[in-house]
């Protein structure tokens, strides 16, 4: 899986990383190639669109980090967006419920449902030390029931005794009863699949769900079927309700489209993946690892991460040094205001600082909102370098010029200067260990 896509993306990004500079046109050209590669990998069109749009936006607006080439930055952006597309964090099967916890497996015939049921039972028994009961609800194919019984015997995991002539929902009830009486932790319900998506299968699954009230409903989907698997997931989720997805045959040579669009299209997490026929071939689905496997550029990604964190550390150290010296000019103030805007404006910043909510009213009364932040940046931008460095030279005529440049009144320039003085005092206080970080703002 992913081989072809990996090769294509690798080629596109390799060409970018070699370049010293990137224009918007370069980014656009790369995005077109990435778009084509994803579509060829059978990723859903809507997912491709939103992915390339997000990457493009960030790539064009990316801050250039010292010691990192623009192309390397793009690799990191692609990597992060791939992870987001795959669901960010890995999600485990949730067993947090009263035992026996019912888990229902649904999916088409041949998708790997019975095998996955056995794989999951094996992992829960051997790794998690749970007592597991497996039950086949496939009343249409006696061979399917027998298949689960054989797997159970091999793995020394209990299966519900077969009673001929019972309806699937009655077997589900019997399984839960046996689970309670036998002191099991988990009951795995392997339902019957059909060869195609049909209403009978859906309504039967809905009835079983009503009877057993499963804590997890997992769709087992064959990743080799690409977008069909995604459509299946959407239909099952609408009709029955899913809590997660297991993608099988990740070891096959599929194009990867199902794995890549499943999460974004259905909103349901891929919890596990089947990587072989044997009962130990089951793995957690880790978005970051999958993205790493697809891009194969882990070294570039970690290089950018390291450079970005060094940059932040360098900036922080420089800021502390300035504070210690009591130096805080208008250029520094501009940087602080930008930082605030980046962190989600005043609201975002306040949410991140414990104990700051008290000051909310004060700040609101001072008229400092996100629009004001932007305006203040604009005022500072209308100044000369010299003025930013040395605000004391700002006399009436200069103030008039600045006000005209920023399209505001002289009064607003005065307000900004007052706010700067307050912030500078606050910075000094912080440098000496006094006062909150927003103290200057509150008095502005």
Is residue 168 at the binding interface for ligand GDP, with CB under 6 A as the rule? no
Burial of 385 (0-12, 13-18, 19+ CB in 10 A): exposed
Is residue 115 at the binding interface for ligand GDP, with CB under 6 A as the rule? yes
Q: Give the one residue of 69, 113, 255, 271 binding ligand GDP; rule: CB under 6 A.
A: 113
Closest listed residue to residue 148, CA positions, set 125, 124, 115, 175: 115
Least Å distance between CB 136 and ligand GDP?
A: 9
Least Å distance between CB 249 and ligand GDP?
A: 4
Q: Give the one residue of 109, 166, 169, 288 binding ligand GDP; rule: CB under 6 A.
A: 109
Residue number with the smallest Cβ distance to ligand GDP: 274
Is the Cβ of residue 113 or residue 415 nearer to ligand GDP in the bound state?
A: 113
167 is in an annotated binding site: no
Q: Give the one residue of 112, 152, 269, 391 binding ligand GDP; rule: CB under 6 A.
A: 112
> Would you report the helix, strand and coil content of the chain in percent, each value rounded to 5?
60, 10, 30
Is residue 214 at the binding interface for ligand GDP, with CB under 6 A as the rule? no
Least Å distance between CB 118 and ligand GDP?
A: 8
Is residue 254 at the binding interface for ligand GDP, with CB under 6 A as the rule? no
Q: Give the one residue of 215, 249, 286, 334 binding ligand GDP; rule: CB under 6 A.
A: 249
Our separate counts of H helices and E strands in the chain read 20, 8
Is the Cβ of residue 113 or residue 420 nearer to ligand GDP in the bound state?
A: 113
Alpha helices, H only, 326-409: 330-342, 345-352, 360-365, 370-381, 385-389, 396-406
Q: Which one-letter DSSP state was computed for residue 64? A: P
109 is in an annotated binding site: yes
222 is in an annotated binding site: no
- 41 CA to centre of own chain: 21
Task: Please count the other Cβ atoms lying within 10 Å of the Cβ belonging to residue 337.
Answer: 21
Query: Half-sphere exposure of 104 toward its Cβ, with a 13 Å CA cutoff?
Result: 31
User: Reduced to 3 states, what is the DSSP secondary structure of residue 34?
Assistant: helix
Residue range at the interface with ligand GDP (CB under 6 A); choices 35-43, 55-63, 111-119, 370-378: 111-119
Gyration radius of the chain's alpha carbons: 30
141 is in an annotated binding site: no
Mode of pairing for the β-strands spanning 282-284 and 132-136: unpaired
Is the Cβ of residue 91 or residue 111 nearer to ligand GDP in the bound state?
A: 111
By the criterion CB under 6 A, which residues form the site for ligand GDP? 107, 109-115, 193, 248-249, 251-252, 274-277, 281
């Amino acid at each position: 899986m992913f081989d072809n896509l990996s090769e294509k993306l690798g080629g596109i990004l390799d060409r970018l990383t070699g370049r010293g500079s990137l224009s918007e046109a370069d980014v656009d050209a790369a995005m077109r190639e990435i778009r084509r590669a994803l579509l060829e990998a059978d990723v859903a069109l809507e997912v491709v669109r939103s992915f390339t749009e997000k990457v493009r936006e960030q790539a064009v607006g990316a801050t250039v980090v010292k010691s990192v080439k623009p192309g390397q930055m793009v690799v990191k952006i692609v990597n992060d967006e791939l992870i987001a597309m795959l669901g960010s964090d890995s999600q485990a099967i949730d067993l947090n419920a009263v035992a026996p916890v019912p888990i229902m497996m649904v999916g088409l015939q041949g998708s790997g449902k019975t095998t996955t049921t056995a794989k999951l039972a094996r992992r829960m028994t051997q790794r998690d030390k749970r007592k597991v009961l497996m039950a086949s609800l496939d009343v249409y194919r006696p061979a399917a029931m027998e298949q689960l019984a054989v797997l159970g015997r091999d793995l020394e995991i209990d299966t519900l005794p077969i009673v001929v002539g019972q309806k699937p929902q009655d077997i589900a009830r019997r399984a839960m009863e046996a689970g309670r009486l036998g002191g099991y932790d988990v009951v795995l319900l392997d339902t019957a699949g059909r060869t195609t998506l049909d209403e009978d299968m859906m309504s039967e699954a809905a009835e079983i769900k009503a009877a057993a009230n499963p804590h997890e409903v997992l769709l087992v989907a064959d990743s080799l079927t690409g977008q069909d698997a995604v459509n299946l997931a959407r239909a099952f989720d609408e009709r029955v309700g899913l809590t997660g997805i297991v993608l099988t045959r990740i070891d096959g040579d599929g194009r990867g489209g199902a794995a890549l669009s499943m999460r974004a299209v259905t909103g349901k997490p891929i919890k596990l993946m089947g990587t072989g026929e044997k009962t130990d071939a089951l793995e957690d689905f880790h978005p970051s690892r999958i993205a790493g496997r697809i891009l194969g550029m882990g070294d570039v990604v970690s290089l950018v991460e390291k450079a970005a964190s060094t940059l932040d550390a360098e900036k922080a150290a420089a800021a502390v040094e300035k504070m210690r010296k009591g130096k805080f000019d208008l250029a520094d103030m501009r940087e602080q205001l930008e930082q605030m805007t980046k962190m989600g404006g005043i609201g975002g910043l306040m949410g991140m600082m414990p104990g700051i909510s008290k000051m909310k009213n004060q700040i609101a009364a001072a008229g400092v909102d996100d629009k004001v932040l932007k305006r203040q940046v604009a005022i500072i931008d209308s100044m000369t370098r010299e003025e930013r460095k040395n605000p004391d030279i700002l006399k009436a005529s200069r103030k008039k010029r600045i006000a005209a440049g920023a399209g505001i009144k002289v009064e607003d320039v005065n307000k900004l200067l007052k706010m700067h003085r307050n912030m500078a005092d606050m910075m000094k206080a912080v440098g000496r260990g006094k006062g909150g970080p927003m103290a200057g703002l509150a008095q502005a």
